[in-house]
Amino acid sequence: MSNTVEFAKMNGLGNKILVVDMRGRTDKVTPQAAIALNADAETQFDQIMAIHDPKVQGTDAYIDILNSDGSKAQACGNGTRCVVQALAAETGKKAFTFQTVAGILNAVEHEDGTISVDMGRPVFEWNRIPLAEEFHDTSRIELQIGPIDNPVLHSPSAMSMGNPHAIFWVDRDPMSFDLERFGPLLENHPMFPEKANITLAQVISDSTLRTRTWERGAGLTLACGSAACASAVSAARTGRSGRKVTIDVASSPIRQPLVIDWREDDHVVMTGPAEWEWSGALDPSTGTWSRDAERGAEAR
C-alpha cells in the first residue's frame, strides 16, 4: 500500500476543507496528520473530509470527518458539498448518499453548480444535544457571558444538527462582537459536555439571517454549514423567521448565500456552493504533502 493518497484543497463558502481520498485503504487520516496539516499555512483547514469505501449497502461512501485540532466531527455540511463536487467531477454522477457518524446524508449537484445536502432532522431534547442540565424548552436556555445585569450574550437557542449548537441572538452585526475572545469560553462551557459550536445570529428579515460561528474543534471559521442550519431552524422555532431562509455568512469572503429549508417532513436541506482550489498527495499518517505540480519535490 502506497503511503500517499490524493487530496484536494477546497472551500465551501470560505469554509476551508481538505477532501482526502482514502478509498481502497484500511487505514485512516490520523489526528497527528490533521494537526500537522493545519499547522502549515498552505494546508490549514477547518475540516478534513476523508472519503472511505462504503460500509452500508446503497451508499456511495463513508465519510470520516476531522477537525483542525485532530478531534472527530459528526457533521460538516460545507465539507459535504465539497465531497459532492469532487465525486461528481470524477464520476459524472449528480446524486450521492453518504454514511457519517451522524447518520445517512443525501446530496445532489444542480445544473447551476450549487449543491443541496439533506442534513437530516434537528434534535431539540436536552439530553441528546447534549446539555449538562435539563431544560424543558431548549429554544432558550439559561446561559450568559458578561456582567449579570448587562450580559454581552445570553439565552441561546440550543439544538443538534448531528453536532451540538448554541445560537446567540444579537441585535447588531455579528462581526462587531469579540467572538475570538468569547468563543473558546462558550465552546468549553460546562453546559456542553461534548463542547458546542457557538454562533451569533442577527435577524435581517423574516427570510434572511446574518451569522458568524466559532466552530467546535476548529475555532473562528469563515463559514459553518451545520451552524447555518441550526441558526435557520432556531429562528423558525422561535418565531424569528419562516422555515426557508437565506443565510448571509458574515465572515465569509464569498458573497454567495446559503439557502436553508426546514421542510415540513422535518428534514433540513442546505443549498450552496463549493470550490476546488488545488490538489496534491499526502501521507495520512504523518501529514506530509506535496502539490500536484510539485511531485518529485521534497514533501512538506
Active site residues: 76, 224
- Cα dist. 153→11, 157, 169, 182 in Å? 30, 12, 8, 9
Count CB-CB contacts under 10 A for residue 189.
16
Helix (H, G, I), strand (E, B) or coil at 113: coil
- How many whole angstroms separate alpha carbon 18 and alpha carbon 10? 6
Strand residue runs (E) in the chain: 5-12, 15-21, 47-52, 61-67, 95-100, 103-109, 115-118, 144-145, 153-154, 157-160, 164-169, 197-205, 208-215, 219-221, 244-249, 258-262, 268-272, 275-282, 289-291
DSSP state of 205: E
Helix H or strand E encompassing 33: helix 31-39
Q: Which residues contact 205 (CB under 8 A, 6 or more apart)?
A: 241
DSSP state of 123: B
Residue type, 15: N
Residue 290, all three cell numbers:
506535496
CA 263 to chain centre: 20
Q: Strand pairing of 258-262 and 268-272? A: antiparallel
Query: Is the Cβ–Cβ distance between 51 and 23 less than 8 Å?
Result: yes
Residue 295, all three cell numbers:
511531485
